[in-house]
């Protein structure tokens, strides 16, 4: 048995697998860039309260709309607040809310999708038509309704965003399950008499997990954009908490003579979204899923 050594591959722990995936991701230039941007933003979100040079809510009428200088790196806004401080702090809320939001979206969307794919038939039909019905409602209007009824607290925003962004995951998870369900190993498990729960947990989830995780990562970046839109409209974070969407909204009218107040949050927001997107793509490739050949669901 000469081939033994060549094909030997021990079962790896979850950490070993994860680090292997991350190394594969980083071996691509796009993956490395994406990962670095994402990690930079996450670190920044943790340390920004300690490194912020100014108080983010200190209003000073004498310093209104100052151009960037040595003291105020990114200039000041219409209330004389430091744009740099507000920019590095501005991603924290968005990142936290959307991270937990996409976790919720993944959980309910993924599980419901797998369940529908497995049981099929009438239940699947009914559930999917309900999901379709929700997909046809413009999410932003529905969000505005929820937020104006229940307020803009984190406890409301996370589950609401999680709900609206999970609908798409249901479809992806269901489609991925349908791919697996026809395979003989599922038939074999059924013929042996395993319970539905055991089939979902042992046979299906390991085979659809990758597709769903990648979809979740993509949803994260969309949710970030969605959440910033809410803030932009004034329904996300309430002032004076620094937030990119809110900052863009405030400074947009002054763009023609105080461009600095609007450019910094735009760069922050778009770089984070690009970072997440590139990471998700590299993640997909590292797992062997080629998104370029798949039609968007």
Indicate which single residue of 43, 187, 255, 267 sits in contact with other proteins (rule: CB under 8 A). Answer: 187
Total residues found in the chain within this entry: 297
Closer by beta carbon to other proteins, 180 or else 261: 180
Indicate which single residue of 28, 54, 178, 194 sits in contact with other proteins (rule: CB under 8 A). Answer: 194
Using rule CB under 8 A, residue 190 touches other proteins:
yes
Using rule CB under 8 A, residue 57 touches other proteins:
no
Q: Exposed, middle or buried, 117 (CB in 10 Å: 0-12/13-18/19+)? A: buried
Instruction: Considering only the stretches 70-78, 95-103, 140-148, 186-194, report the one whose residues sit in contact with other proteins under the rule CB under 8 A.
Output: 186-194
Three-class secondary structure of residue 76 per DSSP: strand
Instruction: Considering only the stretches 6-14, 48-56, 151-159, 168-176, report the one whose residues sit in contact with other proteins under the rule CB under 8 A.
Output: 6-14
Closer by beta carbon to other proteins, 10 or else 290: 10
What string marks each residue from 120 to 159 as x (binds other proteins by CB under 8 A) or -?
----------------------------------------
Sole residue written with tokens 């969000």: 143
| C-alpha–C-alpha distance, residues 96 and 114, integer Å | 27
**C-alpha closest to that of 71 among 82, 56, 86:** 82
Phi, psi dihedrals of residue 76, rounded to the nearest 5°: -125, 160
Using rule CB under 8 A, residue 290 touches other proteins:
no
C-beta of 297: minimal distance to other proteins in Å?
22
The answer to whether 209 and 282 are in contact (CB under 8 A) is no
Binding-site size, other proteins (CB under 8 A): 25
Q: Which of residues 204-233 bind other proteins (CB under 8 A)?
A: 206-207
C-beta of 118: minimal distance to other proteins in Å?
14
Taking the CA atoms of residue 260, residue 266, residue 269 and residue 270 in that order, the dihedral angle to the nearest 10 degrees is: -130
| C-alpha–C-alpha distance, residues 232 and 249, integer Å | 5
Instruction: Considering only the stretches 163-171, 190-198, 234-242, 275-283, report the one whose residues sit in contact with other proteins under the rule CB under 8 A.
Output: 190-198
Using rule CB under 8 A, residue 295 touches other proteins:
no
Using rule CB under 8 A, residue 6 touches other proteins:
yes
Give 243's contacts (C-beta < 8 A, 6+ positions apart): 90, 93, 94, 228, 231, 236, 237
The answer to whether 168 and 122 are in contact (CB under 8 A) is no
Three-class secondary structure of residue 82 per DSSP: strand
Using rule CB under 8 A, residue 7 touches other proteins:
yes
C-beta of 125: minimal distance to other proteins in Å?
14
Q: Which two tokens stand for residue 168?
A: 């798409």
Closer by beta carbon to other proteins, 199 or else 261: 199
Three-class secondary structure of residue 208 per DSSP: helix
Using rule CB under 8 A, residue 201 touches other proteins:
no
In the complex, which residues of this chain contact other proteins (CB under 8 A)? 1-4, 6-11, 183-185, 187-194, 202-203, 206-207
């Amino acid at each position: 048995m000469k081939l033994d050594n060549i094909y030997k591959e021990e079962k790896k722990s979850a950490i070993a697998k994860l680090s292997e995936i991350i190394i594969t991701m980083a071996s691509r230039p796009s993956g490395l860039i994406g990962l670095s941007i994402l990690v930079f933003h996450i670190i920044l979100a943790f340390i920004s309260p300690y490194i912020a040079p100014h108080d983010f809510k200190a209003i000073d009428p004498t310093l209104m709309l100052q151009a960037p200088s040595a003291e105020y790196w990114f200039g000041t806004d219409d209330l004389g607040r430091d744009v740099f401080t507000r920019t590095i702090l501005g991603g924290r809320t968005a990142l936290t809310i959307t991270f937990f939001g996409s976790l919720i979206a993944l959980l309910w969307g993924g599980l419901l999708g797998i369940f529908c794919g497995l049981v099929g038939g009438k239940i699947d039909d009914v559930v999917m038509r309900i999901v379709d019905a929700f997909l046809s409602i413009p999410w932003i209007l529905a969000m505005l309704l929820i937020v104006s009824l229940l307020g803009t607290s984190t406890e409301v925003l996370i589950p609401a965003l999680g709900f609206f962004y999970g609908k798409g995951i249901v479809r992806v998870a269901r489609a991925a399950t349908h791919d697996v369900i026809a395979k003989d190993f599922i038939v074999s498990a059924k013929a042996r008499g395993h319970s539905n729960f055991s089939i979902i947990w042992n046979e299906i989830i390991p085979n659809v997990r990758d597709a769903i995780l990648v979809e979740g990562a993509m949803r994260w970046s969309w949710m970030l954009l969605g959440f910033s839109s809410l803030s932009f409209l004034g329904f996300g974070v309430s002032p004076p908490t620094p937030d990119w969407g809110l900052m863009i909204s405030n400074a947009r009218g002054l763009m023609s003579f105080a461009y600095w107040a609007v450019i910094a949050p735009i760069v922050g927001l778009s770089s984070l979204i690009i970072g997440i997107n590139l990471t998700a793509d590299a993640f997909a490739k590292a797992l062997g899923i080629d998104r370029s050949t798949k039609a968007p669901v």
